[in-house]
């Protein structure tokens, strides 16, 4: 929670993902860095986005465990191993400021970039309307690890009312341009620092 509040003040946006962790059997509410959540440029509200992609880092052992537990598809093999996850420029700059260093390649720990896409799809059956799904894909190999419905079977109403939305966005100051990403104190102080 503290991470969310600190980042909300600085950049104006805090994102939390609330979901059932099937590995541990508990409900979780995780902080998501804004750069690890990709939405369409014209999106105003996260609930209305046609696709929301959460960029995650997972170890090979976690992926294999999820395959063994039947959460991910079995038999998906990864030819190449990426021991160093793509953390992005913002994370590298933050690590430099705080004096942290990314660990060297560890042969025992392999980390993969996984794309978790919350989207609407009809799987090329144009006669049917698109329905809400979660598609989990390995970024490097583009192999699908899991597809699951986002419809709540216990809720009544139309498709939009029955759709489960996992992400909640908290804004500090709404963007004056009406865009998805709001303003924080960092943007307000930026102009003062230039003078």
**pLDDT average, residue stretch 117-128:** 90
What confidence tier does 97 reach under pLDDT thresholds 50, 70, 90? Answer: low
Q: What share of the chain is helix, strand, coil (3-state, %, to 5)?
A: 25, 35, 40
pLDDT digit string (tens) for 148-170?
999 988 888 888 889 999 999 98
What are the residue boundaries of the structural domains of the chain, listed by start?
2-194
pLDDT at 108: 61
| Model pTM score | 0.79
In the chain, where does DSSP find H-type helix? Answer: 2-11, 60-68, 88-98, 159-162, 185-194
pLDDT at 105: 60
Where residue 124 falls (left for φ over 0; alpha for ψ -120 to 50; beta otherwise) is left
**pLDDT average, residue stretch 79-102:** 62
């Amino acid at each position: 929670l503290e991470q969310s509040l600190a980042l909300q003040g600085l950049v104006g946006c805090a994102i939390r993902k609330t979901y059932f962790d099937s590995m541990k059997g508990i409900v979780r509410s995780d902080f998501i860095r804004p750069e690890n959540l990709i939405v369409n440029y014209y999106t105003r509200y996260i609930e209305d986005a046609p696709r929301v992609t959460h960029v995650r880092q997972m170890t090979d052992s976690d992926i294999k465990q999820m395959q063994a537990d039947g959460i991910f598809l079995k038999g998906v093999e990864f030819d190449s191993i990426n021991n160093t996850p793509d953390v992005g420029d913002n994370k590298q700059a933050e690590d430099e400021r705080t004096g942290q260093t990314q660990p060297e390649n560890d042969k025992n720990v392999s980390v993969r970039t996984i794309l978790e896409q919350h989207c609407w799809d009809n799987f090329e059956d144009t006669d049917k309307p698109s329905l809400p799904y979660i598609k989990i894909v390995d970024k490097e190999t583009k192999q699908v690890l899991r597809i699951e419905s986002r419809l709540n079977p216990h809720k009544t109403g139309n498709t939009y009312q029955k759709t489960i939305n996992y992400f909640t966005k908290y804004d500090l100051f709404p963007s004056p341009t009406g865009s998805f990403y709001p303003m924080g104190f960092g943007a307000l102080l930026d102009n003062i620092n230039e003078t």
